[in-house]
Amino acid sequence: MALQWPLIMGGKRQPIKPDKGCGVSEGVDKAKEVERLDFEQALAQLNDLVGKLEAGELPLEESVAAFETGVKLSRRCEALLDSAEQRLQVLSDDQDS
């Protein structure tokens, strides 16, 4: 793959290196990893990402990737909470009978 040479601030040209690890398969792998996490693990990772994003210590591309991962983690936490709530509702309904 040929390198491209865009102009950047200051008029200097720097090569754009081919992206590493940004393929579709990596996104699928990360989604599978998130699906394996229990609630506490997903919440801890989400809190870590939020802290890094709030601190502003990540470059733009890493911030976007962290946000995407955070959305997946948030959805995982929500799904696990919904599941727990349903289980508790079944137990509560059984006791009412």
C-alpha torsion angle, residues 85, 86, 90, 95 (rounded to 10): 20
Name 31's Cβ contacts closer than 8 Å, sequence gap at least 6.
72
Average pLDDT across the chain, whole number: 80
> For residues 19 and 92, which has the higher predicted lDDT (pLDDT)?
92
Give the tens place of pLDDT for each residue, 36-80: 999 999 999 999 999 999 999 899 999 999 999 999 999 999 999
Residue 96's pLDDT band (boundaries 50, 70, 90)?
A: confident
pLDDT at position 42 is: 97
Question: What distance in Å separates the CA atoms of residue 68 and residue 62, rounded to the nearest whole number?
Answer: 10
pTM over 0.85: no
Please give the C-alpha separations between residue 21 and each of 25, 27, 28, 30, in angstroms, as whole numbers.
9, 9, 12, 11
pLDDT at position 18 is: 43
Residue 82's pLDDT band (boundaries 50, 70, 90)?
A: very high
CA angle in degrees (0–180, nearest 5) for 88-34-86:
10
Give the residue-averaged pLDDT of 5-19. 46
Domain architecture of the chain: domains with CATH: 36-97 (1.10.287.1040)
Residue 95 has pLDDT above 70, yes or no: yes
